[in-house]
Chains A and B, each alone.
Chain A
């Protein structure tokens, strides 16, 4: 309970928790669109590409205020995504190659600038490298205000343009034929994604922020087929993971924030993949087992009916279990018969031979059809 009371009284812990939840919420919501549009790896490119923007913003202004750094990050991320689009549209180079190229080049530029700044600027630059893996503990009220304001802006635009973005994600060609400016909507949605990414850079870091875009959406996708629920759920998963991961990392010494948050959100995704009610692996296994059992019962029932149909008095004709075994060599005849008996479709005579009940005969006729 001390953790809970700390959350309300301890300023640092509260800032960290709120900030991480905000970043998870926004990244999760926007990530849902990125995953749907198969742009998961664009997030990786954009977040790596933000590094030179952060360092350049510091070099130009000499300030480390969150708004300045976030603006630099967003501009660089945005430029990177436009470059990717340019390369893909005007040359034979495919999206995956363009992403990797822009990602590594921009990140390399970031490292270059970072080393230059570290050589020249002395102590003033200290802390810029926390953007590599993130450090939740460095969040202060000012960061929180910037993050919340930008996050709210992103979510408001998302709500206002909901219908357009929905159409763009599922059927861009149709959207174009209706007269929507598809190209501009595409750029707007990508811009929102860029903002969602840079919000989280200070906490999660440029190297791992892309996972905050992908993982919550991948988890949410297992639970629902509706866009509205997908975005809400993805945001919720992101917020919960961000909160848990950041609080965990600030309570346990030597637990870096970014990786901890990513491990939490990956766990949420794995659990979703396993446990989700309809798409989950467990549900699918159960469904397959049930299906197999039904097929087995019905095939035994059909065999018994075919045997019975040879007789003038079908209901009064018991049959040996070995006869059934030769008809369906696959294992499970006895289990199938037991289940038939449990459903009152077949009964065993005292000598161990089996025959169908009236209900079983009717069901067998349905299964086999009138032909035999």
Chain B
């Protein structure tokens, strides 16, 4: 791997980790789409600051962009609180408007501005190694690596220092308020962090990858753990993995790096979504299937228990009878249920009849007591 490639990969991995850290909180607060909104809406901030300063490297651009990001949050919340629009509609209204404003500003002045709309949207990671961070004539590496390294460290620092507060405000805002933690301050602090991260990352990797890196790794990690600390670490790790995967893909098929990395995020999520232990699609479907069979086996046991010692016991406990009028199962289904119940030792065969074992009687009794223990009418 060549030196520029290594630098691109390093920028992407650091960006992925920084985005994932704030993305986790956005997801937990059900504000994931704010990453989309904020990263689009910072465009007019950048454009206006550029027209004022005429300097693409000016720190004012970053400050203006971060402020526009916060403005987006405030606008969405004002519209929602006015109760004239629901939150999703408010978001869907505000950020396209701000983004449109940014694009119109940029294209109207396309002649004298070196701001390419496509580059903003799609990212130009391929060119990132050309922008160097030079101090006193010494080349210290790509500029974006320093910027995103700083942003990621800032995120890490803030989250570590305010871990307890963030955790409480995220999971129980009411309790946080009653303990005097000022959830509003925490909320806007977090939004400021998201804005700063979006601005830094947007410059380095492009808009769409910011959204992918904030949401995807957090979502994948959420399927793997219930602990916030672990969730943050896993999200950062999965984000870095997705970035690496995407970069390998981009080199291999010679395609857009940002596009490939977004696809990498999708692939990592898809893999976790399918295979996560306990919460992945495969184990969910398996569990649902198993529960279906177990339920049917217990039904069988209950049926047998109901007629045990009764006048019709002989008839009711025949296998053919089960798919007849009372239980209404198909013959094939009945055969599998009886097989399964026999394997689990719930029933045993006695000639053409089925008989409950001690275990089966206990299982049916447990299930029935569970039913009758429910309050009436529920």
Residues of A in contact with B (beta carbons under 8 Å apart)? 35, 38-41, 43-44, 87, 90-94, 96-101, 103-116, 119, 129, 132-133, 207-208, 210-211, 213-215, 217-218, 221-222, 254-256, 258-260, 262-263, 266, 269, 273, 279, 281
**Measured CA separation A214–B279 after assembly (Å):** 34
Cβ of A100: which chain B residues have Cβ within 8 Å of it? 32-33, 35-36, 211, 214-215
Interface hits, B323-362 → A, CB 8 Å: none
**B92-A211 in contact (CB<8A):** yes
**B215-A38 in contact (CB<8A):** no
Smallest Cβ-Cβ distance to B36: which chain A residue: A100
**Measured CA separation A92–B223 after assembly (Å):** 7
How near does chain B come to A195, taking the closest CB pair, in angstroms? 19
Decide if the interface of chain A is mainly helix, strand, loop or mixed: helix
Cβ of B92: which chain A residues have Cβ within 8 Å of it? 40-41, 43-44, 210-211, 213-215
> Beyond A40-B86, A41-B92, A254-B108, is A101–B262 a contact (Cβ under 8 Å)?
no
- Would you mind naming 16 contact pairs between A and B with Cβ atoms under 8 Å apart? A35-B86, A90-B284, A93-B219, A94-B30, A97-B27, A101-B266, A105-B263, A105-B266, A107-B208, A111-B262, A112-B256, A132-B121, A215-B93, A254-B110, A260-B100, A273-B82
A-B pairs, 7 with minimum CB distance: A108-B262, A111-B259, A105-B266, A211-B96, A259-B100, A112-B259, A104-B212
Smallest Cβ-Cβ distance to A111: which chain B residue: B259
**A96-B30 in contact (CB<8A):** yes
Any chain A CB within 8 A of the CB of B247? no
Any chain A CB within 8 A of the CB of B122? yes
Binary interface profile of B, 252-278, with partner A (CB < 8 Å = 1, else 0)? 011110111111011001000100000
Cβ of B99: which chain A residues have Cβ within 8 Å of it? 207-208, 259
Smallest Cβ-Cβ distance to A97: which chain B residue: B32
Any chain A CB within 8 A of the CB of B320? no
**Measured CA separation A109–B264 after assembly (Å):** 9
**A255-B104 in contact (CB<8A):** yes
**Measured CA separation A142–B31 after assembly (Å):** 41
Binary interface profile of B, 109-134, with partner A (CB < 8 Å = 1, else 0)? 01000000110011000000000000
**Measured CA separation A155–B142 after assembly (Å):** 54
Cβ of B208: which chain A residues have Cβ within 8 Å of it? 104, 107-108, 111
**B259-A108 in contact (CB<8A):** yes
> Beyond A91-B284, A132-B121, A133-B117, is A105–B273 a contact (Cβ under 8 Å)?
no
Known: A105-B263, A221-B85, A263-B97. 9 other contacts (CB 8 A): A92-B279, A96-B27, A111-B258, A115-B255, A116-B254, A211-B96, A218-B93, A255-B104, A281-B84
**B265-A40 in contact (CB<8A):** no
**Measured CA separation A110–B255 after assembly (Å):** 11
**A263-B256 in contact (CB<8A):** no
B contact residues, range: 35 or more
Smallest Cβ-Cβ distance to B108: which chain A residue: A254
Cβ of A104: which chain B residues have Cβ within 8 Å of it? 36, 208-209, 211-212, 215-216, 262, 265-266
**A40-B88 in contact (CB<8A):** yes
Any chain A CB within 8 A of the CB of B107? yes
Cβ of B86: which chain A residues have Cβ within 8 Å of it? 35, 38, 40
How near does chain B come to A266, taking the closest CB pair, in angstroms? 4
Cβ of B88: which chain A residues have Cβ within 8 Å of it? 38-41
Smallest Cβ-Cβ distance to B260: which chain A residue: A112
**A211-B97 in contact (CB<8A):** yes
How near does chain A come to B37, taking the closest CB pair, in angstroms? 9
Q: Which of B96, B256, B273, B284 is within 8 Å of A208, CB to CB?
A: B96
Interface hits, B22-64 → A, CB 8 Å: 27, 30-33, 35-36
How near does chain B come to A203, taking the closest CB pair, in angstroms? 14
**A91-B212 in contact (CB<8A):** no
**Measured CA separation A208–B253 after assembly (Å):** 29
Cβ of B121: which chain A residues have Cβ within 8 Å of it? 132, 207
> Beyond A40-B88, A279-B84, is A101–B93 a contact (Cβ under 8 Å)?
no
**Measured CA separation A116–B211 after assembly (Å):** 22
> Beyond A262-B96, A269-B93, is A101–B269 a contact (Cβ under 8 Å)?
yes
Any chain A CB within 8 A of the CB of B91? yes
**A129-B254 in contact (CB<8A):** no
Any chain A CB within 8 A of the CB of B202? no
**A105-B216 in contact (CB<8A):** yes
Any chain A CB within 8 A of the CB of B281? yes
**B33-A222 in contact (CB<8A):** no
Cβ of A43: which chain B residues have Cβ within 8 Å of it? 92
